[in-house]
Structure 1
Amino acid sequence: MSLFFGQGVFQMQIVTDSGFDLSPQQKGDFKFHALPLKITLSGVSYRSGIDIQPEEFYKLLEKTGDMPITSTPSPGEFLEIYEKVAEEDPDILSVHISSGLSGTYNSARTAAEQFKGANITLVDTRSLSVEMGWQLEAAIKAVQAGWPIDKILALLTKVREASEIVFTLPNLTYLIHGGRISHLKGLLASLLGIKPLIGVDKAEGKYYDRGRARTFKQAIQAIPAYIANRIPPGTPLRAQIGHAHNPEGAEQLHQEMENLFSCEWLDDCSISPVLGAHTGQGLVGVVFAPLDQMPELP
């Protein structure tokens, strides 16, 4: 089963996975098919976004104290959704979480190579969460506007190059458990009480160290300071905050960003369960792009 969003019929079909985050306002009536990644917690398996929603997941995570395990959709599952979607139109744009962070893209590629009944164009966003959501939003709007595939791909490249994600979290336990950072580095950081600033490298789409702070509050303050070292303060930004069941941290980051930049805000996003499984509760981050570098969406 896949998640289905929106109404109407467009010329090209869009397939994605549940590695993205979009606000309800961004989803609107857009039509796309999202194949869910899976989470196993306390011996029970859930399909992210179908069987369990963010608020329920984070409460369950806190209650059980167990470490969740995630798994990617299989090539067979992608093949099934491609066959179903191709019945509406054989032109499919398949947009996915970074291949540097998940095996999902490779599963989709294997299925696309096997299925000869459609013209499938794969996109490795080299990102995740809200930043992936920006590329997905751009893709859907471009498809809705009837853009040709080459123009859509050029748009997604521009969005990826213009945008950046930076986040922090109160502890590293989940990242260590999920193998997203080395056990030794994570253990040392935990022992020292260090709170990391984490970004995603655009070349390989993997987590990258963007700085560190002594406390979680200081780490949130350090995010706009990091941005200010790359972009002059006062620069108009398109910006959007994502958080894992931490509205207070999100509000602090809003205020800290407003102190340094003129932000054109999109509504906050709740981080999806499949991503929160690797970070735990409390994560706060922002996706941003200078307005003069962000391409105009259809």
Structure 2
Amino acid sequence: MKKVAWVTDSSAVLDEELKNHPHVYVLPVHLIINGQAFLDGIHLTTEDIARSMDNGETLSSSQPSVGDFKELYDRLAEEYDMIFSIHLSSALSGTYSSSVQAGKMVDIPVFSVDSSYLSYPLTLLLKRAIKLWDHFHEPEIVIQSIHAIKSKLKVFVWIGSLQQLHKSGRLSASKYLLGSLMKIKPIVTFEEGKLEIKTKVRTWKQATEKIESYLEESLASGEIEELFLLYGRDQSQTTEWVDMVKAKSADKVSTYPLGTALVLHAGTGTVGIGWLEK
């Protein structure tokens, strides 16, 4: 049986299962504060980023380089027979492209996969890929199945800070000004890997009502296999949505941090919800 290494980037939010997995490796995203570079999860945590935001510091991020990937892949080639490398959406970052390029430079098969997501949805896909490999031991089946699972994921994120989205370069000045003047915060979703505005709301109550309607729509069309909530700074941010979800469905609800990369761009007040349809 071939020995497989699993690689992702730090935009994923690893649960205890993956943190303790002996064959999972994480390449850190580069976080930049006032021009100084740090490695996500090594030099900085989400709370460090939150404090920097509170202090008004300038923050941005950059992807792991092709060289970072090649160095890791060369090292893994000494121990493994092949590598699956699953990363955040190629529409949001060049990380997937760096993996593809590095994969062509090393003497080990590298199967790079664009997850079309980040944060826990990326983690979910990584976990499913590992289980699929354990069952089928066929790279093509794993990749095809992951793309099929992607189409069943529904993820909605209520943006906590238009200011942070603007400062990080993900929102134009005109849209930021208009949104700020009208006190609008969008709910965004993922469409073909891109963040697209689903709707615009002014209050938390309106956001909750919209999310509830999206959940009801999915429940009406079929069963939900897994449901999760995402928080920026504190798990208590999800309490109201947890109660709403439990009132709609008896399924277990899991909560996870958004992760440093998403908090950096969207702010600590950001809250997300997602589910995998059967």
TM-score (structure 1 length as normaliser): 0.85
Secondary structure in 2 aligned to 1:263? Answer: coil
Gaps of 5+ in 2: none
- 1:48 and 2:53 equivalent? no
Which one-letter code corresponds to 1:53 in the other structure? T
**Structure 1 residue 286, shift from structure 2 partner:** 1.2
Among 124, 127, 135, the alignment partner of 2:117 is: 127
Q: How does 1:208-287 map onto structure 2 within 5 Å?
A: 208-232=196-220, 235-266=223-254, 268-287=255-274
Runs (4+) off by over 6 Å? none
How many Å apart are 1:169 and its aligned residue? Answer: 2.4
Matched, 1:289 2:276: yes
Alignment of 1:148-159 (within 5 A): 148-159=138-149
Secondary structure at the aligned position of 1:197 is classed as strand
Tell me whether 1:58 sits opposite 2:46 in the alignment.
Answer: no
Unpaired stretches in structure 1, ≥5 consecutive residues: 1-8, 294-298
Once the two structures are TM-superposed, the CA of residue 255 in structure 1 deviates from its matched residue by: 1.2
Report deviation, 1:229: 3.4
Structure 2 length normalisation: TM-score? Answer: 0.91
Deviation of the 1:44 alpha carbon? 3.5
**Aligned residue pairs, count:** 278
CA drift of 1:230 comes to 4.3
Cα distance change on mapping 1:88 and 1:134 into 2, 3 Å:
same
- Cα distance in 2, alignment partners of residues 220 and 112 from structure 1: 43
CA distance, structure 1, for counterparts of residue 221 and residue 200 of structure 2? 20
Structure 1 pair 161–43 and aligned structure 2 pair: CA distance change class (3 A):
same
Deviates more, 1:134-143 or 1:70-79: 134-143
2:141 is paired with a residue of what secondary structure?
Answer: helix
Q: Is the alpha carbon distance of 1:29 and 1:78 closer, same or farther for their aligned partners in structure 2, counting shifts above 3 Å? A: closer
Q: C-alpha separation between the residues in 2 aligned to 1:98 and 1:119?
A: 21
Match of 2:184 among 188, 194, 207: 194
Contact 2:4 2:23 in 1 (8 A): no
CA distance in 2, matches of 1:257, 1:113: 45
Distance (Å, rounded) in 2 between the aligned partners of 1:11 and 1:77: 22
Does the C-alpha gap of structure 1 residues 134 and 256 become closer, same or farther in structure 2, counting only changes over 3 Å? same
Higher helix share: 2
Sequence identity percentage? 26
Structure 2 CA distance for aligned equivalents of residues 220 and 46 of structure 1: 35
SS at match of 2:117: coil
- 1:37 aligns with 29
